[in-house]
Every structure is written in C-alpha cells, then in structure tokens.
Amino acid sequence: MKTNTQPLNREIKREALNDHDYLMLDSTSTNFHLLKDEAPFILDAGVVVFVCVAGEGKIFVDMQTIDIRRGSFVLLLPFSVIQVTEISDDAQITLIATGMGFLEKLAMSQPVENYVEKIREMPCLQLSDKYLEEAKEVYYFVERLYKEASGPLSQEIRNTLMTLLSLEIVTLFAVNQPKVKIRLSRQEQVFRNFTISLAENVREQRTVEFYATEACLTPKYFSSIIRKRSGKLPTEWITERTILLIKFLLQNSDKSIQEISNELNFPNQSFFTRYFKKNTGITPTAFRQY
C-alpha cells in the first residue's frame, strides 16, 4: 500500500475488522487532509461509505469531480480511483462503513442491482438537513447495536444490522439520485471506462492491448490519453491494481499461493512470485507472514 492511502488504510485494515465480518462502523471523523494533493490512488477496501458533516472539499472519483460539503453522502465502489484535491481546515468526514462484509451485504440487497451503475455514475448525494438527520439517526442506532451485540446470536444480529444499513443506503440513493447525467469529454470517458474495465477484468487481462482494443484505440494513443488524464501509464495502473488484488487475497483468504496464482491467471507460481517480488520487494509468502 502506498503512503498516500495510509490514512484510509489505518481505518480499514483487516486486523481491526476480523471479528466483525470485515465491517467497520465508526462515527469518529477520518482525516482526509493527509490525502490532499496526493497522486490518484486505487481504493482497495471493498465499499467505503462516508458523509461530510462540516466544511467542504473537492475529490476526483473515476474522473468525476465531486464537490463535498455538509450533507454530502459518498459511496465508493471497490477499486475506485480517488484523488483529494481540496479540503477545508474545518472539514469533518465521518466514515460510516467499509469492508468486504459490507460489500457482500450490499450485493445481496435486491434493489442494489438496479443502482450499481447509477452509484458509479453519481457516487455522491447531497442530502437535505432532514435526510441527513434521519440518516444519522438510523446509523447511530445500527452502530450502537452492532458494537453491543453479544451472546450466541451476536453474528446473526450483526448480519441483520448490516443488511438494514445496506438497504437504508440503497434507499437513500433511490430517493435522492439526481436525474441529470454527467457529460464527460472523450478522453475522460476513455479513462473512466478503463478504470471500470480494469476492476472487472484484471484477474484475466493485464495487457494494454486488451484495454486499448476495448476503447477502439491503438495502444500508443490509448496510453497517451491515460497518462494525460491520470499522470500514470496504463501499465502502471494495471500493475498497481494487480498488486492490490494479490495483497488482498493474501491477507483475507486461506488460499494457497498456487491457488491465488491460478485464480489470477498467472502462467505458474514461480512467475507469480517473481512478479510480486519485483513490484513489492518481498515474496508473497513473506508478505502473508508480515
């Protein structure tokens, strides 16, 4: 994990979540100021939901500019590309939930299938004070019961609360989703489509040619667009996302190195190990033990 992701990474690291099914509920504020003006990075923590309760700022999410202020409710899908460019001194960002457990619950909510693309297109809602206060009331209720859950049915209680929270969030997006569609330039659309396709296909496809073909562009021109829009070449994005995925599988699954290598379509375990060590400085086994 690169340094510029550490403020969020500290909030969502697996060690803090393993007793709660990879879900974190914490109404304390998260320091986004440390991310200001850093290079774009890939969020690799499952779904991340946060709300701005004070101040203002500006972030880029998958090539969209999002202005946040009090009442801004943001839902970031897995492997979103993020950059914080402006954040006021008085900004207070409350991290509502994050983790793969929440992602699973969100995916199981029936209405979510109709809103995933809408959420990706418009990941930020601006809630009125009425909706904000109602959302906070539901959230604090869920957070308290989630943390207090105990006894033989504690996990069932937490699962039910996770489902409730996911349904509440989907409902917020259903009720408040703007009807105006954002118009992107051709180059912005190319980069955005690339980030989405990369999240979907990185397990199988890791060549620039594949993504350039999807965009109906030559690899050279495609690379120039991605670099112009993001400051990185497609190969850098592909490598970064692949390494993040490998790290996640090493930390959050019991799969063997060979199984992970096979799952990610590497030719063999030896090549997989060299690839990981070349880009991280350590072997997959050493990383898992760290």
159 and 190, same domain (yes or no):
no
Q: For residue range 117-162, what is the model confidence (pLDDT) as tens digits?
A: 667 667 888 888 888 888 778 878 887 888 888 888 888 887 787 7
Q: Which residues lie closer than 8 Å to 95 by C-beta, 6 or more apart?
A: 11, 24, 26, 28, 29, 30, 48, 49, 50
Domain of 92: which CATH number?
A: 2.60.120
Domain span including residue 251: 186-289
Residues 101, 23: contact at Cβ < 8 Å? yes
The yes-or-no verdict on residue 201 having pLDDT over 80 is: yes
Q: Find the range with the poorest average confidence among 27-41, 95-109, 228-242, 253-267.
A: 95-109
Which one of 154, 176, 198 terminates a domain? Answer: 176
Q: Are 29 and 168 within one domain?
A: yes
Residue, of 165 and 129, whose pLDDT is higher = 129
**pTM value surpassing 0.85:** no
Kind of pairing, strands 81-87 and 56-61?
antiparallel
pLDDT greater than 80 at residue 283: yes
Task: Tell me if 230 is assigned to some domain.
Answer: yes
- Does residue 129 sit in the same domain as residue 192? no
Residue 129 and residue 63 in one domain: yes
- Which CATH number fits the domain that encloses residue 241? 1.10.10.60
Please tell me the least confidently modeled range out of 57-66, 210-219, 273-282: 57-66
Asked whether residue 265 falls in the same domain as residue 138, the answer is: no
Given pLDDT bands bounded at 50, 70 and 90, which one contains residue 4?
Answer: very low
Predicted local distance difference test score (pLDDT) of residue 104:
57
The reply to whether 126 and 215 lie within a common domain is: no
**Which of 176, 205, 227 is the last residue in one of the domains?**
176
Asked whether residue 109 falls in the same domain as residue 231, the answer is: no
Q: Is residue 181 part of a domain?
A: no
Mean pLDDT of the chain: 77
Counting the structural domains of the chain, the total is 2
Percent of the chain with pLDDT over 90: 23
